[in-house]
């Protein structure tokens, strides 16, 4: 479902939403069926809220803008599944490893 065109649009959507919520996108890449997003956020933010917002709004926009291209591949009306994986890291080598992983998992 996630073509290079859709991935570029997702990056724009994520950047816009992150800017509104004191969340800073550091790296974003994706594969045909998922995305990797490295963000920096203040410790006062409960991470489930930004993730839910990113998934909900990006789903609405992608379905609206690319419906004919993706309609046969949706889960019912959903673009994303309900699941997500969050890995929390601090500054230093661990963040660099995660960023390198994301950069190496780009759409071809």
Which of 6-15, 23-32, 40-49, 98-107 holds the top average pLDDT? 6-15
Q: Judge whether residue 92 has pLDDT over 70.
A: no
Backbone angles phi, psi at 95, to 5 degrees: -60, -40
What residue ranges do the domains of the chain occupy?
A: 4-103
User: Is the whole model's pTM more than 0.95, yes or no?
Assistant: no
- Look up the CATH superfamily of 4-103: Transposase IS200-like (3.30.70.1290)
Q: Judge whether residue 108 has pLDDT over 90.
A: no
- Cβ atoms of residues 36 and 27 within 8 Å: yes
What mean pLDDT do residues 43-63 have?
A: 89
Please give the C-alpha separations between residue 88 and each of 4, 46, 70, in angstroms, as whole numbers.
Answer: 27, 12, 31
Please state, rounded to an integer, the average pLDDT across all residues of the chain. 87
């Amino acid at each position: 479902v996630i073509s290079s065109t859709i991935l570029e649009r997702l990056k724009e959507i994520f950047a816009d939403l992150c800017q509104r919520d004191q969340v800073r996108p550091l790296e974003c890449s994706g594969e045909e069926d998922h995305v990797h997003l490295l963000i920096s956020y203040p410790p006062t933010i409960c991470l489930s809220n930004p993730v839910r917002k990113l998934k909900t709004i990006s789903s609405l926009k992608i379905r609206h803008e690319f419906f004919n291209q993706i309609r046969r591949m949706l889960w019912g009306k959903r673009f994303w599944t309900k699941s997500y994986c969050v890995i929390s890291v601090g500054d230093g080598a661990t963040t660099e490893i995660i960023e390198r992983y994301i950069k190496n998992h780009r759409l071809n």
